[in-house]
């Protein structure tokens, strides 16, 4: 192994000894800096910053010990080995050299072999030290960056997952300051039709992965809650999103609470969190255990979002918590557990609040510093007056901000009838209304039924009964292709008209076509008679669908002019029809 060249400082007042030493060291391939006393040694060290220093102990002006102290101070963090050159034999003198910062001795007469071995050994030590300090610096820098990133991430998260209406007078909660990094999230939002929605979640894992998963949950929760979606709808959406984005093995235990103060009703869904407590004003306790898998595990079609309904009255309270409460441990390794909560609840004074008692109880039990806890606890008081938290500018239903009063007309003609579907475009226009955005499936169904009827039966005059047999089916589609080539002078015209209504809006869709129309007055379904409709146009299924989805359906003219009225509300339960 070729040894790389070092710069070595030699300080000795004896010319003879210095001459020998420098010759020895040069022969080892190193560069030599010479000094004749301690003062000069310190000076040369400052100028030349050598890698290793060889110091004679006894020198005029400044002795080796003092020079060593100065040199160690100048070197700072850098490891500069100092080897004392000595013929000292007194143990006490040798000890003083070490105390002054010496790392080793070299005794006279100098031995080539020993000098070489010592320089090599100290060079290895020196380089190891350099590596360690640069790694240490790197680690410190990385740690600093990480903390900075967490602070920024926290700020971003706070903007997305604002506290909503957590500050309402009937909500009490505790979450550790960096809760998002321990995986806990707590959201609350007023519902447009009154009442509120609260979500408490606990992600598996810690740190950034948990925080990243929490981000879309916050978005979905606040976005949907303010538009009037039910807790079940929000849960389905959160589950679907988390299933999609979280890696296997990561999920979110959670509880959704939908509170309706007017009806005196709580709807609760608990997936993987500890029991939620309903504490009646009269002392009765009701436990709502987890009945579902956590969010982000089941595929959408298997996900069960049914919420448990509990009737409540003013004075009742609901307590929901993450497992950090149950798993709080004391010095002996015992867990707080359900028993701990029961003990606390027994001690609640008439004027006291169970929330305060439980929180104090778990803290006293685990005697941990408040800032190091890993638990989230929230309490909701049932009041007789619907809580109306001030959420202006924060979670205002954005339905009022989007386009709500508008009208448009879109007509496609002739060849385009065969080449182009206007449905995505029309759907897009409708979904600009925030209140309709969540009803895209229904709107799409309405538009496509109208359009396909107008095209196939209106413009192309294809009889729907053809499709009833396999043979007719083929004929139907080949005829469809043939007739699409002969659409001169034909058109389909959509008129969309949206207006605002208290608590929602109304979409009016008129679809006209240039076809011959049909005798809607004698159509069994249109005229209101029941039974299998086998008309030339509007097979039973399509018309029934239109009737079910819309408030009203009207045929005009020759039957080639259909108008439907579709009403929507903020508060409408979306969970009723699962065919979205």
Partner 1 sequence: MTDRQHLDEEALAELQDVMEDEFDVLIQTYIVDSRDRIASLKTALAASDADAFAKTAHSLKGSCINIGAPRLGELCLEAEEAGKAQDLGEASRLVAAIEQEFAAVTGLLEGFLVR
Q: Where along the sequence are the contacts to partner 1 (CB under 8 A)? A: 13-17, 19-20, 23-24, 27, 56, 58, 86-87, 108-110, 112
SS3 letters for 217-272?
Answer: HHHHHHHHHCCCCCHHHHHHHHHHHHHHHCCCCCCEEEEEEEEECCCCEEEEEEEC
Contact by Cβ (8 Å): 271, 286:
no
Nearer to partner 1, 23 or 396 (CB): 23
Please report how close the Cβ of residue 147 comes to partner 1 at its closest, in angstroms: 56
Nearer to partner 1, 115 or 359 (CB): 115
3-class DSSP state for residue 35? strand
Please report how close the Cβ of residue 6 comes to partner 1 at its closest, in angstroms: 18
Please report how close the Cβ of residue 40 comes to partner 1 at its closest, in angstroms: 16
363 — phi, psi (to 5°)? -70, -45
3-class DSSP state for residue 529? coil
Contact by Cβ (8 Å): 52, 122:
yes
Please report how close the Cβ of residue 16 comes to partner 1 at its closest, in angstroms: 4
Contact by Cβ (8 Å): 226, 236:
no
Please report how close the Cβ of residue 95 comes to partner 1 at its closest, in angstroms: 17
- Distance from C-alpha of 326 to C-alpha of 493, rounded to nearest angstrom: 63
Nearer to partner 1, 88 or 423 (CB): 88
- Distance from C-alpha of 260 to C-alpha of 386, rounded to nearest angstrom: 8
Please report how close the Cβ of residue 17 comes to partner 1 at its closest, in angstroms: 5
Please report how close the Cβ of residue 94 comes to partner 1 at its closest, in angstroms: 14
- Distance from C-alpha of 20 to C-alpha of 109, rounded to nearest angstrom: 10
Contact by Cβ (8 Å): 80, 51:
yes
Please report how close the Cβ of residue 82 comes to partner 1 at its closest, in angstroms: 18
Angle between helices 112-160 and 15-27 (to 10 degrees): 70
Nearer to partner 1, 28 or 98 (CB): 28
Nearer to partner 1, 13 or 233 (CB): 13
Please report how close the Cβ of residue 140 comes to partner 1 at its closest, in angstroms: 45
Please report how close the Cβ of residue 23 comes to partner 1 at its closest, in angstroms: 5
Provide the edge-to-edge strand list for the sheet that holds 276-279: 171-175, 376-381, 317-321, 276-279, 285-288
Contact by Cβ (8 Å): 469, 538:
no
Nearer to partner 1, 110 or 491 (CB): 110
Nearer to partner 1, 18 or 292 (CB): 18
Nearer to partner 1, 20 or 345 (CB): 20
Residue of 546, 577, 541 lying closest to 443 (CA atoms): 546
Nearer to partner 1, 17 or 34 (CB): 17
Nearer to partner 1, 3 or 87 (CB): 87
Please report how close the Cβ of residue 22 comes to partner 1 at its closest, in angstroms: 9
Residue of 163, 470, 483, 200 lying closest to 324 (CA atoms): 200
Whether the upstream peptide bond of residue 109 has omega within 30° of 0, thus cis, is yes
Nearer to partner 1, 8 or 171 (CB): 8
Is residue 405 exposed (0-12), middle (13-18) or buried (19+ Cβ within 10 Å)?
Answer: exposed
Nearer to partner 1, 88 or 212 (CB): 88
Please report how close the Cβ of residue 102 comes to partner 1 at its closest, in angstroms: 17
Q: What angle do CA 126, 131, 134 make, to 5 degrees?
A: 120
Contact by Cβ (8 Å): 534, 465:
yes
Contact by Cβ (8 Å): 41, 71:
yes
């Amino acid at each position: 192994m070729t040894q790389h060249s070092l710069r070595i400082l030699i300080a000795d007042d004896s010319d003879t000894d210095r001459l020998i030493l420098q010759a020895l060291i040069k022969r080892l391939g190193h560069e030599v800096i010479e000094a004749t006393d301690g003062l000069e040694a310190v000076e040369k060290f400052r100028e030349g910053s050598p890698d290793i220093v060889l110091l004679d102990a006894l020198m005029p002006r400044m002795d080796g010990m003092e020079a060593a102290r100065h040199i160690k101070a100048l070197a700072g963090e850098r490891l500069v080995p100092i080897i004392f050159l000595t013929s000292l034999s007194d143990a006490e003198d040798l000890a003083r050299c070490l105390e002054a910062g010496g790392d080793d001795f070299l005794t006279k007469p100098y031995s080539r072999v020993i000098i070489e071995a010592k320089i090599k050994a100290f060079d290895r030590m020196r380089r190891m030290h350099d590596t360690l300090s640069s790694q240490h610096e790197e680690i410190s820098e990385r740690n600093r960056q990480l903390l900075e990133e967490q602070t920024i991430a926290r700020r971003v998260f706070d903007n997305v997952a604002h506290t909503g209406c957590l500050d309402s007078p009937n909500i009490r909660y505790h979450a550790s300051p960096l809760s998002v990094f321990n995986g806990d999230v707590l959201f609350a939002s007023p519902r447009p039709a009154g009442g509120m929605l609260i979500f408490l979640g606990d992600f598996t894992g810690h740190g950034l992965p948990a925080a990243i998963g929490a981000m879309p949950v916050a978005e979905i929760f606040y976005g949907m809650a303010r538009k009037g979606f039910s807790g079940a709808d929000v849960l389905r959406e959160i589950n679907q999103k988390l299933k999609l984005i979280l890696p296997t093995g990561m999920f979110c235990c959670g509880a959704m609470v939908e509170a309706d103060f007017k009806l005196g009703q709580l709807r609760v869904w608990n997936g993987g969190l500890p029991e939620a407590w309903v504490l009646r004003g009269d002392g009765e306790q009701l436990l709502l255990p987890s009945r579902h898998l956590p969010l982000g595990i089941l595929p959408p079609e298997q996900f069960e979002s049914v919420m448990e309904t509990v009737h409540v009255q003013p004075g009742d309270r609901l307590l929901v918590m993450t497992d950090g409460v149950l798993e709080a441990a004391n010095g002996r390794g015992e867990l707080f557990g359900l028993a701990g909560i029961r003990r606390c609840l027994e001690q609640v004074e008439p004027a006291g609040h169970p929330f305060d008692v439980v929180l104090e109880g778990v803290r006293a039990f685990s005697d941990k510093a408040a800032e190091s806890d890993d638990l989230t606890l929230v309490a909701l008081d049932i009041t007789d007056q619907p809580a109306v938290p001030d959420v202006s500018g924060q979670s205002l239903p954005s339905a009022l901000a989007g386009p709500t009063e508008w009208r448009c007309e879109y007509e496609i003609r002739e060849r385009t009838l065969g080449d182009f579907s206007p449905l995505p475009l029309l759907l897009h226009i409708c979904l600009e209304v925030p209140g309709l955005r969540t009803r895209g499936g229904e709107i799409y169904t309405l538009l496509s039924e109208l359009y396909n009827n107008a095209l196939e039966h209106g413009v192309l005059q294809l009889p729907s009964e053809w499709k009833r047999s396999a043979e007719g089916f083929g004929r139907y589609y080949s005829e469809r292709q043939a007739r699409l080539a002969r659409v001169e002078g034909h058109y389909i015209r959509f008129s969309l008209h949206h207006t605002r209504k208290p608590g929602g809006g109304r979409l009016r869709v008129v679809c006209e076509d240039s076809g011959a129309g049909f005798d809607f007055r004698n159509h069994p379904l249109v005229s209101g008679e029941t039974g299998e409709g086998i008309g030339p146009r509007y097979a039973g299924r399509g018309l029934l669908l239109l009737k079910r989805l819309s408030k009203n359906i009207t045929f005009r003219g020759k039957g080639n002019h259909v108008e439907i009225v579709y009403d929507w509300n903020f508060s409408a339960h979306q969970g009723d029809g699962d065919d979205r």
